[in-house]
Amino acid sequence: MHLLPASLPLSLHSAEQVRALDAQLIAAGTPGFELMQRAAHAAWRALRRRWPDAGEITVLAGRGNNAGDGYLIAALAQRTGWRVRVLAVGDPAALSGDAEQACAEARRAGVDVLPWSECAPLAGIVVDAMLGTGLAGAVREPYAQAMRMLNQSGLPVLAVDIPSGLHADSGARLGVAVRADLTVTFIALKLGLFTGVGPQLCGELQFDDLQGDAELLARAPSVAQRLDPANLPRLAARSPVAHKGQFGHLLVVGGDLGMGGAALLCADSALRAGAGLVSLATRAEHVAAALVRRPEIMCAALASANQLLRLVERADVCVVGPGLGQGAWSRSLLSGVAGSDQPQVWDADALNLLAAGQVSAPRHGVLTPHPGEAARLLGIDTASVQADRPAAVRALAQRFGLVVVLKGAGSLVAAPDGRLALCDRGHPAMAGAGLGDVLAGLIGALLAQGMAAYDAACLAVWLHARAGEVLAAQGRGLAAGDLPCTIRQLLEEVCPCTK
């Protein structure tokens, strides 16, 4: 479980940016060894809070500054009277600078420093201090074998700064990586902790800024922002004399034969999120069901794109793709919408037809691919998208000149100008059909009410994920149709309808 305390910073950084921050703190007068000591104390406090009665730790140490943190943790545990030993996966003779000083400190405290071997038993709480944020390539031996043995041990694990084997920027597993129960990270949050397999490997995440200069940390450059009520874009409050014509006319296009539910979910979501008017252009076979389910939605039966043009002209925003299909009917409708000037949200089969070269992208709006759709749009495989989700979503935003939401655990929102936001809310119970259709309608409704594309995508992604969390308290079986009413309540909490 990936816990996200309210005290976590909102800015996410690359490994290079964090190293630069570390250097600036040292240049500003805090010695590197003192920062290492502060990191060790922070990790030791976290370990004792989580496992107060353990009484024993094993430190797996590499040969960089991450190992230095581990050696100092070992010294603190030894002086507290715990049973302690360090298994040196990296040769202590190769240590230098602050890490060498930390190893000497551990030895002075009476810590046994033993060479790691496949026969060396692990015991107590295992402190992962093998590889830090500088890792870029695949994990090599003997580290890979040490990590495999640790993961197979079933022992509780504290990772120092970042689980060894996790890429600090992309959240990719570099061949093999440690699965931690608790990760204590320092100075600034690394993007890779929140995307890819990062949340799965980190376990509970705690943060300590090591008493760094607050002003220096606040103005440090970052690569992304975590979405949070403190920094969410706000939908403007409504005037007491407001009327429906002021909040946009949204048109949902989709629902081929057998897939009418997707388009209806999308339209229902848009209605509940405050769009002034909502129309649904779909197959004639779905109109009766739509009117029974939601009579507030204006339904139009379409046999061809010619019938669609008048509806598009009246709309302020179009959401295209939920249940659209990829047949001749689908292609004709998408072509009829694509050239219009309204902001558009493209989802599902609209993206697949775009990837197949059947149509050009809209001029304005938002694309909402899941990893498989993103892979088709980029001409790569899904594994490559998941291996570096930030790079993938940025590439899509640049390629199409549109805001892009890359869905999945740790959804990302990218703008063509380089802005990147990450949503660390959500729940595994949201892994089900139709939730993407609800998100597309929500984004469209916020666009219809006047929000800019990037702002609408950020607010919608957070509301959608948070609603999933709220409903997931009941466990499995979350249906997409459950979300719109909860989203409505959350939207009112974040952006009250009236002042």
What is the per-residue pLDDT for 217?
87
Give the residue numbers of the binding site for K(+).
66, 128, 164
Dihedral sign computed on CA atoms, order 421, 425, 431, 433: negative
Q: Rounded to whole angstroms, how far apart are CA atoms 384 and 183?
A: 26
Are residue 220 and residue 258 in the same domain, yes or no? Answer: no
Instruction: Using alpha carbons, select from 396, 377, 40, 14 the residue that is nearest to residue 168.
Output: 14
List residues forming the annotated binding site for AMP.
407-411, 436
Q: Please enumerate, by residue number, every residue annotated as part of a binding site.
A: 66, 128, 132-138, 143, 161, 164, 262, 323, 370, 407-411, 436-437
Q: Given the DSSP bridges, would you call strands 365-367 and 403-406 parallel, antiparallel or unpaired?
A: parallel
Are both 300 and 380 inside the same structural domain?
A: yes
Nearest to 123 by CA among 87, 148, 98, 96: 87
As for how many domains the chain has, the answer is: 2
Distance CA 218, CA 285 (A): 56
Q: In what order do the strands lie in the sheet with 403-406?
A: 189-190, 11-13, 224-226, 420-422, 412-414, 403-406, 365-367, 344-346, 317-320, 249-253, 277-282, 298-301
For range 272-279, the mean pLDDT: 98
313 and 215 share one domain: no
Decide which of 192, 226, 260 is a domain's last residue. Answer: 226
Q: Which tokens belong to 78?
A: 């030894």
Percent of the chain predicted with pLDDT > 90: 95
> Are residues 352 and 219 part of one domain?
no
In the chain, the N- to C-terminal Cα span, in Å, equals: 37
Cα–Cα distance measured from residue 319 to residue 153, given in angstroms and rounded to the nearest whole number: 50
DSSP 122: P
Is residue 4 included in any domain, yes or no? no
Residue 349 lies in a domain: yes
pTM for the complete prediction?
Answer: 0.95
Residues 108-119: tens digit of each pLDDT:
999 999 999 988
| Among candidate residues 349, 332, 264, the one with its CA nearest the CA of residue 298 | 264
Residues 276 and 207 grouped into a single domain: no
Range of the domain at 16: 11-226
Known binding residues for (6S)-NADPHX: 132-138, 143, 161, 262, 323, 370, 437
Q: What is the pLDDT of residues 284-332, one digit of tens each?
A: 999 999 999 999 999 999 988 888 999 999 999 999 999 999 999 999 9
Q: In this structure, what CATH number is given to the domain that contains residue 289?
A: 3.40.1190.20
CA angle at 139 for the pair 135 and 141, rounded to the nearest 5°: 130
If asked whether residues 263 and 355 sit together in one domain, one would say: yes
Confidence of residue 28 (pLDDT cuts 50, 70, 90): very high
* Domain end call among 226, 254, 285: 226
Q: Are residues 322 and 402 in the same domain?
A: yes
Count Cα neighbours of 272 within 13 Å in the Cβ-side half-sphere: 26
**Of 191, 226, 261, which residue sits at a domain end?**
226
